[in-house]
Amino acid sequence: MGIVLASIDTAPPPVVLPVAAKQAKRPPANPQKFAVENRASAIDGMGAFAAEAIPAYKKIGEIRGESITVREAHKRVRGQARIMMIEVSDKRAVDASASTDALRYTNHSCTPNTVLRIRQGRVEIYAMRAIAVGEELTADYGETHHAGTLRCRCGAANCRGAL
Ligand SMILES: [Zn+2]
């Protein structure tokens, strides 16, 4: 007969977790990281301007709005001169018409200082370079529903001339 070592049950006793207190639904954290203000733009209508210095590559904020289908988006933009619609995938779009996010007034420039990044249906805007206080924020819209029929007034040396 060998020596029988005291058998120790190493399995931890079952832990009864208390029923999690119902988490109060918190509002999502504010995605706007830098102060942006809206005022008249030399490019077009209203613009979005940096109200504080923004370092290069930082997330400036987001353009939020109503999440709709691309089909619905196309219906809504028809016949409208000024649109605030961003396609976030081949199926979904964000209608920022009723949004209060200052970044929704970001104008197009052929030499932009910000870049739009679509992530999980969210429209994020990042600084492509350091942006000084008072500079207008611009993004390259890429393809628009104007299909090259809208004259571009961005004033950049390499302006493509149309949107
Ligand atoms: Zn241009």
pLDDT of residue 151: 87
Average pLDDT over the chain, rounded to an integer = 86
* Whether residue 81 has pLDDT greater than 80: no
CA of 111 to the centre of ligand 1 (A): 7
Mean pLDDT of 131-156: 87
CA of 20 to the centre of ligand 1 (A): 55
CA of 103 to the centre of ligand 1 (A): 19
Euclidean distance between CA atoms 70 and 76, whole angstroms: 10
- For residue range 36-56, list pLDDT tens digits in order: 999 999 988 899 999 999 999
CA of 138 to the centre of ligand 1 (A): 11
- pTM comes to 0.79
CA of 6 to the centre of ligand 1 (A): 82
Euclidean distance between CA atoms 66 and 103, whole angstroms: 15
| Residue ranges of domains in the chain, CATH in brackets | 36-139 (2.170.270.10)
* Whether residue 101 has pLDDT greater than 70: yes
Q: How far is CA 140 from CA 80, 105, 148, 152, 156, in A?
A: 20, 13, 13, 11, 12
